Structure 1
Amino acid sequence: MKNTIALLALSSFLAVTACKKDKTTVSVSEKTEAQAPEKLIVDSVKVNDSVKVTDSLKLSFTSKLLVFPTLKDKELLDSIYFQNEKIKDFSKAGLQAYLDNEKNTYFNSVKNDNKDWISDVTYAQNWYSSSHMNLISNTNGYMHIQYTGSGYEGGAHDNYGFSERVFDLKNSKKVELKDITSMPKSKIESILMKNIDKINSGTMDGDGEVKNSEMLLVDKIPASDNFYFDDKNLYFHYSPYEIAAFAAGDITIPVSWEDLKGTLTAEFKERMKIK
């Protein structure tokens, strides 16, 4: 049997085109007015279906994708739906058709890949694939989308994971670490190790809460692209097994603006109102 994480696209799908000034030639007495930025519209499509394979085995498929009807920049949309390279039609109808196809592909692949022994499943099981794309925030022209995925196809436990992406709606692009700070990744990684226990996962044993640092599987915590931020901190989010044992769950490590003092980019500081 195998464990799988269904991290469908849900890749974050959001961003807005920066407002553009009207460049029509006008006389000296006229004023050129900046066009108001187009209002960001957020919709979604969903699929929630199941099928009975045998008397003991049921397959379920659940997925949600966000839809942004006002976004037209293909490069930005490709970045938002980064886990779904097959998506070519970003309309609501196109994304719904994509999810319906993904559901059918999942059902058929599980049946075909396990057809030689699937009838041997004698006790009730529900195998599933679940993925969701959620808009977490949209502040100061930065949009944070969280992509979650989980799945189970037999084994000791299900698996799950997270992907965080922030999009700069002013400049129509995904935010990279270099857009926030000039600090070398090696120094950020030292801070991550120092801050590993600032937000504990809540894992308990007979002696009480277990610290994240006690369950680490790595000697160095990578400064990955799986980050987001608010008005106080930059946060790095790690899925189970990424840096620690499964029992630790997912781990979030904060890096404060004070930790990054002197390295924050001028534009980022201004837009986030960091003093």
Structure 2
Amino acid sequence: MKRLGILLISLSIIACQSEKKTAGQADSTENSDLTFKYDSLQVFSKQVKTAEKGNADTAYAKIVYPVFTDQKLNQLIEKKTIKAAEQTDTSTNKTYQELAASFIEGFDSINKDPEMAQSGAWFLDDQTKVLVSRPDYLCLEHSNVNYAGGAHPNSAMVYWNLDPKTLNEITLESLIKEGSLPELTAIGEKIFRKNEKLSPTASLKDNYFFEKDTFSLNRNFTITKEGLKFLYNPYEIKAYAYGSTELVIPFSELKAVAKPNTLLSPTP
């Protein structure tokens, strides 16, 4: 069970049990026309309960996010962050502050009632990082780790691929030739089986969660210097204990399926 110690109590006092917002240094990625800085906020619960061995059970929410000069882009990132953190399209929260506050309110509400009170500290750690920032490609990595009771924390990481000019999503289908997804999937499965030390005919039924026990590519990808990288989160294709799974398809393997003049067919 997650515990927060004396240090967290001290931090809560320093923060006056209120929001704390810190501006980051101006930053940008290599060869980028999109400059940004990181900003953050932290919210602590006013409820602190003494727990075992002098520890304290309370709650905090921390959100880190990039701030660009383009306000429409900032609004899009904020909207996507809230949707990803809450995994819903119907949230009443509209800002980072509201997202953090609602998490703390959930902890406070439960622990006001002695019959419903839970032992163990709650936390929300939500971060959005800029992985790639180029005139033709913006990739953001959004990670969310949270604990609100239960056997263990929950975590998820997703990539947001955007066209910086239009702010439209860059989809996998927009990068590969029409009808070539089965071929790309076959390439991915070959690499997956090699990484997992599976034979070409080994069953995926017992140790994996693929639908109909058939390998498939998800849509959680980013484009790296090595190629097309997919990420499967905990519980997505394996048990929680195995964590996340990465799969990288090198550019050399994408020549037959990549559309010309796209991010998957870089010029030498």
- TM category (shorter chain) comes to 0.5 to 0.7
RCO (CA 8 Å, sep 6+): is it higher in 1 or 2? 1
The letter for the 2-side match of 1:192 is G
2:63 aligns with 63
Residue 153 of structure 1 pairs with residue 125 of structure 2: no
Count of aligned pairs: 211
Deviation at 1:171, TM superposition (A): 4.7
1:108 aligns with 105
Deviation at 1:225, TM superposition (A): 2.0
Question: Structure 1 stretch 263-272 or stretch 161-170: which is displaced more?
Answer: 263-272
Work out the CA distance in 2 between the residues paired with 1:270 and 1:119: 52
Distance 1:111 1:140, change over 3 A: same
Offset from partner CA, 1:198-233 (integer Å, 9 cap, x none): 556xxxxxxxxxxx9984222234322210112331
Residue 131 of structure 1 pairs with residue 126 of structure 2: yes
Indicate conservation of the 8 Å contact 2:110/2:118, yes or no: no
Deviation at 1:162, TM superposition (A): 0.4
1:216 aligns with 208
Distance 1:245 1:168, change over 3 A: same
Offset from partner CA, 1:85-115 (integer Å, 9 cap, x none): 6xxxxxxxxxxx9322222211112232465
TM-score of the pair, normalised by structure 1? 0.65
Distance 1:199 1:127, change over 3 A: farther
1:82 aligns with 80
Indicate conservation of the 8 Å contact 2:118/2:149, yes or no: no
- Corresponding residue SS for 1:192: helix
Q: Which runs of 5+ in 1 are unaligned?
A: 2-37, 86-96, 201-211
- Corresponding residue SS for 1:157: coil
2:86 aligns with none
Question: Structure 1 stretch 231-240 or stretch 98-107: which is displaced more?
Answer: 98-107
The letter for the 2-side match of 1:251 is T
Indicate conservation of the 8 Å contact 1:193/1:220, yes or no: no
2:21 aligns with none
TM-score of the pair, normalised by structure 2? 0.67
2:226 aligns with 232
1:184 to 180, 190, 206: 180
- Corresponding residue SS for 1:261: coil
Indicate conservation of the 8 Å contact 2:138/2:162, yes or no: yes
The letter for the 2-side match of 1:248 is Y
Work out the CA distance in 1 between the residues paired with 2:264 and 2:48: 56
Deviation at 1:259, TM superposition (A): 2.6
Question: 1:92-103 alignment to 2 at 5 Å?
Answer: 98-103=95-100
1:162 to 147, 157, 162: 157
Q: What is the RMSD computed on CA atoms of the aligned residues? A: 3.2
Indicate conservation of the 8 Å contact 1:226/1:237, yes or no: yes
Deviation at 1:265, TM superposition (A): 1.3
Question: Structure 1 stretch 212-221 or stretch 102-111: which is displaced more?
Answer: 212-221
- Corresponding residue SS for 1:84: helix
The letter for the 1-side match of 2:181 is K
Work out the CA distance in 1 between the residues paired with 2:239 and 2:245: 10
Indicate conservation of the 8 Å contact 2:234/2:244, yes or no: yes
Q: Which runs of 5+ in 2 are unaligned?
A: 2-31, 52-56, 84-93, 197-203
- Corresponding residue SS for 1:235: strand
Work out the CA distance in 1 between the residues paired with 2:78 and 2:137: 13
Indicate conservation of the 8 Å contact 1:166/1:228, yes or no: yes
Work out the CA distance in 1 between the residues paired with 2:252 and 2:101: 49
Deviation at 1:83, TM superposition (A): 3.7
Identity of aligned residues (%): 18
